[in-house]
Structure 1
Amino acid sequence: MEFDPVLLAPRRAECIAEGYWPDRTINDELDACIAAVPDKLALTAIRVETGEVRRFTYRELGVLADRVAVGLARIGVARNDVVAMQLPNWWQFSVAYLACSRIGAVLNPLMHIFRERELAFMLGHSEAKVLIVPKVFRGFDHEAMARALQSTLPALRRVVVVDGEGPDAFETLLSGPAWEKEPDATGILGGQRPGPDDVTQLMFTSGTTGEPKGVMHSANTLMSNIVPYARRLELTSDDVVLMASPMAHQTGFMYGLMMPILLRGSAVLQDVWEPKKAVETIRAERVSFTMASTPFLTDLTRAVQESGQGVPTLRTFLCAGAPIPGPLVEQARSLLGTKIVSAWGMTETGAVTLIRLDDDDERAVNTDGCPLPGVEVKVVDFAGSPLPAGESGKLLVRSCSNFGGYLRRPQWNGTDAEGWFDTGDLACLDEAGYIRISGRSKDVIIRGGENIPVVEIESLLYRHPAVAQAAIVAYPDERLGERACAVVVPKAGHTLDFAGMVEFMKSQKVALQYVPERLVVRDAMPTTPSGKIQKFRLREMLREGTL
């Protein structure tokens, strides 16, 4: 794969001079851990459904990273090849990324909720050479889906199956043989290591185009965010980080996989969100920090209240992805004894803003934080002129952690000559420099921290033989923040009910989380004089209960 991270070179000199880019890779950080704290517990991976727990010291993690790296080379993976991975938060996820980094391959994490429709595009667009999947996860046969997709993707040479059997099993190909002891292992492990500006991660995000966009990050862009993030949160090598948010999201990847290694700390992975298990894990593993979307905080607070089991070691819970209700902050503070930190960020940037630990709790309720070091934000009107404090407008970000661009779609990079990235979000900035996200100019619904690609789901609805017009809009939900409602005008003589819509969307092989959870059938849509559907009116009508 030829990568074109055109947004990196123009800011390299400044980011190096200012000390924002560390000019190191995850290889350097893992090697430093192995040298300094080889026998420290690095990773604990918990499978909720089976009860399996695996633990690795930094020395053991290093051996496995080398082993899997040579194993990948044995099946044809070379520098700049894309290794796609649709795994939950299992230890194989962490090891596979570290292994890819050893040989200069690029990891493309894929959410386990994706199905044929999303995967066919992402795997084809990235020209992934290898796809690593679980045999079965949460009752779904990922291996069968991957095999079916492989026949349609000429670049996809190998499907590797965790918990699989036979020649394509993860253990057979990668983690079982002591590849690191083979005569040519030293050359493989030393000859293709990437530099800090090489693309190391490719992560897809949904936007207004209706086509997922491949976000390219280097070690410098990722680590220049993680370092100030950890400093603001006062995290150290003594911290134990719980990650139950998917590592196929930037949240899990940057702050659950990479950050503990940079800290020389310890990570605990939980593959299925089960609040009671999380309480048990926090207590048993002495977890001090976690990050997740607001529904996780709601669930954890309720689980502590119902069980009477406290979580005294949990100092900080960082919430992002949806506003945090004031009563929830108060309840969580009281029941958990934990500082609740609000934050905002994107796949393209990592965390952009977060409150400080000494801020009043009200800041977590009323703001999304202030910029990290190395990050600038500004709010402008639609003509590009800066707006005064308190006025809502387009949010622009210029950051050392901004991505390198969208894979093979530089026309969508959304970054001007001065390095300002148009986030597509609306925000207002207060006098103290704290932002509040006030809406989105891009057409995306965020359901429990998961972006729903509205344009794509609408285009699928239009394929239904009964649909004349369709619009997907958000409606508020206490737990998830937002859910998706489909508003449909049927064709003359046709009808559509909720069950029929769901069945049709399933037939399109779309992720279940993307299927609208409510259907409203109308005779007509509110439109502009030019005929464009007025989604803001639909949202208002949903809030008012008149739709």
Structure 2
Amino acid sequence: MNTFDQQSLCDVVQERAERDPHGLALVELRDEHDLCLSWGQLAEQADRAATTLLDLGVRPGESVMVQLPNSIDFVVMSLATLRIGAVCCPVLPILGQRELVYVLERSRARVLVTPADFRGRQHAREALELAAAGRTAHLRHLLVTGGTASLTDERCGIRQVPRLGVHDLAARIAATPAGPLTGVGERSLHDVAHLLFTSGTTGEPKGVPHRMRTLNQAVSLMSRRVGLTADDRVHIASPMAHHSGFLYGMWLSLLLGCVQVIQPVWNAPLALRAFAQWRGTFMQGAAPFLLDMVTAVHNAQPAPHSLRTFVVTGAAVPRRLAAEARDVLGARICAAWGSTETCMATLSAPQDDLGTVADGRPLDGVRVRAVDEGGIDVGTGREGLLEVTGPFVFDGYLDRDDLTAEAFTADGWYRSGDLAVIEPSGCVRITGRVKDVVNRGGEKIPVGEIEQILLAHPAIRDAAIVAMPDLRLGERACLFAVTHPGRVIKLEDVQSHLATHMVTKSFWPEHIEFIDELPRNPAGKIQKYLLREIARGVAASA
């Protein structure tokens, strides 16, 4: 794996294609017939797509925005972008027009790769409308997957927008002659390769650039901790526009030479069918993926016998769910913590007991500390503000020196915004977010720990605690609960459960709201700001 520090991802893929041109590289799950691509086909399509980008005037260092679902097209366009030294900037297909305008302007992307339509939305038409309205100052080209027929008017063809070219991606690639890629200069491992925008759940999305070498190291050390090799098969259901799908799905597979099985839209029965057919051994994703598969197996779907390891990211893995998943799915469950800015920083090993390692140990080269509000290290066993430094931490936000200065300490540690306890063993236990703290009359409630205890209640399927305004105490704890089908629970049952676990009474939730599903972003993180808005409304109407 040490060679990954000296090789670009593109070179690794090219070497694999030359060595094993007919070997299976990619599987895209379809409703009827799955689509497969060999290493040779992948390299050829990526080179043709790279030539297309060069023909459109894309140059090293500029961003190419890829707004595609998990797909072979996503992998091809990501590789093509990297191949010419440009920066791959993936964004979610669910992004609305307002948010798309924001990231297009921030990234200054002149090329947007987008589907004609996906899940009921006409993405290419929406982008065309934005350009026609003059809201995309930098955009010059739309590369459309799925054809351009949906953009065509019977009378006058595709709507003409000044300074914007619209191209059928498949047709452009097919029309490009096969052959060695020309016109590409030397690429450095220290060049920025990836630009990812934060989810924006606590403010405006921020552009986070990462260098090629950083991403290679992040994947190399993570795969070493989990024990992954080229013989593994990686099932990718997490969005490729997030680290879980992009870095620890696609990039991981390409770097190790694994087969990657790509699932465009999450559906647990489809995933289990794919495990039976394609024999996936590794998957990374948020806890809801794990829960859905456990539920599906309970409902007579086949267990994924090939699945060896599942890494839970996005939020803390409920211990009860981890134990049940291990028994029902037969897989080892690993806990991890990281962020867009730090990549994966802590990770448990497959043989670890999640009851003792909490959210994992720092990966090699990563250092963590918990500090008080004055920046003083609180040592082990005490809750503090989690700060991180190491080889995967980004250098700073895109064009936002002010936010970068706020994010780093004077001695160069990244302020994560999370609360955590560093155990004497070196393991990290995430206890909440600074902005998620419930301050009840000056007493800080350890929200993360209380949520874990509540998730062990047999009636509770999912739970989140947020602050509810209170005239006397300032804030009280409000529990949002998702119950298992057919189960009923009252506030006094919740409080009795916490009393059984000897939880301090002032930490107990004092109001409960039932909800069908907790709002989560595509990375699986609970959008607590939405829950706080509901809680404020409930308090105001009381």
TM-score range, shorter chain: 0.7 to 0.9
* 5+ long unaligned stretches in structure 2: 150-165, 438-446, 449-465, 467-474, 485-526
Letter matched to residue 152 of structure 1: R
* 5+ long unaligned stretches in structure 1: 1-18, 447-453, 455-470, 481-512, 526-545
| Alpha-carbon distance in structure 1 between the residues aligned to 2:403 and 2:60 | 26
Q: Which residue of 1 aligns with 2:105?
A: 124
Q: Which residue of 2 aligns with 1:34?
A: 17
CA contact (8 A) 1:44 1:56 kept: yes
Letter matched to residue 424 of structure 2: E
Q: Are residues 142 and 384 of structure 1, via their aligned partners in 2, closer, same or farther at CA, if it must alter by over 3 Å? A: same
Q: CA deviation at 1:110?
A: 0.4
| Alpha-carbon distance in structure 2 between the residues aligned to 1:301 and 1:424 | 32
CA contact (8 A) 1:69 1:100 kept: yes
Q: CA deviation at 1:164?
A: 1.9
Q: Does 2:324 align with 1:343?
A: no
Pick from 162, 178, 182: which aligns with 1:187? 182
Q: CA deviation at 1:327?
A: 2.1
Q: Does 2:163 align with 1:164?
A: no
Q: CA deviation at 1:30?
A: 0.9
Letter matched to residue 230 of structure 2: S
**Is the partner of 1:329 in helix, strand or coil?**
helix
CA contact (8 A) 2:282 2:307 kept: yes
Letter matched to residue 390 of structure 1: G
Q: Does 2:68 align with 1:87?
A: yes
Q: CA deviation at 1:54?
A: 1.4
Letter matched to residue 32 of structure 1: E
Within-5 A mapping of 1:144-159: 144-150=125-131, 151-159=134-142
Within-5 A mapping of 1:83-482: 83-150=64-131, 151-165=134-148, 168-173=167-172, 175-181=173-179, 186-188=181-183, 191-206=184-199, 210-363=203-356, 367-413=358-404, 414-442=407-435, 476-478=480-482
Q: CA deviation at 1:395?
A: 0.5
| Alpha-carbon distance in structure 1 between the residues aligned to 2:288 and 2:19 | 38
Within-5 A mapping of 1:511-530: 516=530, 519=534, 522=537
| Alpha-carbon distance in structure 2 between the residues aligned to 1:248 and 1:101 | 15
Q: Does 2:67 align with 1:72?
A: no
CA contact (8 A) 1:200 1:218 kept: yes
Letter matched to residue 66 of structure 1: D
Q: TM-score, normalised by structure 2?
A: 0.77
Letter matched to residue 144 of structure 2: V
**Is the partner of 1:136 in helix, strand or coil?**
coil
| Alpha-carbon distance in structure 1 between the residues aligned to 2:244 and 2:74 | 14
CA contact (8 A) 1:207 1:443 kept: no
| Alpha-carbon distance in structure 1 between the residues aligned to 2:431 and 2:209 | 27
CA contact (8 A) 2:51 2:176 kept: no
My pick for the range that moved more, 318-327 or 340-349, is 318-327
| Alpha-carbon distance in structure 1 between the residues aligned to 2:296 and 2:96 | 31
Q: For CA contacts below 8 A with separation 6 or more, give which structure has more relative contact order.
A: 1
Q: CA deviation at 1:131?
A: 0.7
My pick for the range that moved more, 324-333 or 248-257, is 324-333
CA contact (8 A) 1:20 1:374 kept: no
Q: Which residue of 2 aligns with 1:45?
A: 28
Q: Deviations over 1:7-53 (max 9, x none)?
A: xxxxxxxxxxxx79813221121122123333221111113xx4352
**Is the partner of 2:103 in helix, strand or coil?**
helix
Q: Which residue of 2 aligns with 1:60?
A: 41
Q: CA deviation at 1:269?
A: 0.4
Q: Deviations over 1:138-178 (max 9, x none)?
A: 111111211122231121001111102266211123x2223
Q: CA deviation at 1:209?
A: 7.0
Q: Are residues 95 and 514 of structure 1, via their aligned partners in 2, closer, same or farther at CA, if it must alter by over 3 Å? A: farther
Q: Deviations over 1:347-399 (max 9, x none)?
A: 111111011122124246xx110100011111111111111212111111111
Q: CA deviation at 1:99?
A: 0.3
**Is the partner of 1:67 in helix, strand or coil?**
helix
CA contact (8 A) 1:80 1:105 kept: yes
Q: Deviations over 1:198-238 (max 9, x none)?
A: 11110000458722100000111111110010011100111
| Alpha-carbon distance in structure 1 between the residues aligned to 2:360 and 2:315 | 13
| Alpha-carbon distance in structure 1 between the residues aligned to 2:424 and 2:112 | 48
| Alpha-carbon distance in structure 2 between the residues aligned to 1:140 and 1:308 | 31
| Alpha-carbon distance in structure 2 between the residues aligned to 1:246 and 1:257 | 10
Letter matched to residue 169 of structure 1: D
Matched residues, percent identical? 36
Letter matched to residue 434 of structure 1: C
Q: Are residues 357 and 479 of structure 1, via their aligned partners in 2, closer, same or farther at CA, if it must alter by over 3 Å? A: farther
Q: CA deviation at 1:417?
A: 4.7
Q: Deviations over 1:110-136 (max 9, x none)?
A: 011110121111101111111111111
Q: CA deviation at 1:193?
A: 4.5
Letter matched to residue 196 of structure 2: M
Paired residues, number: 443
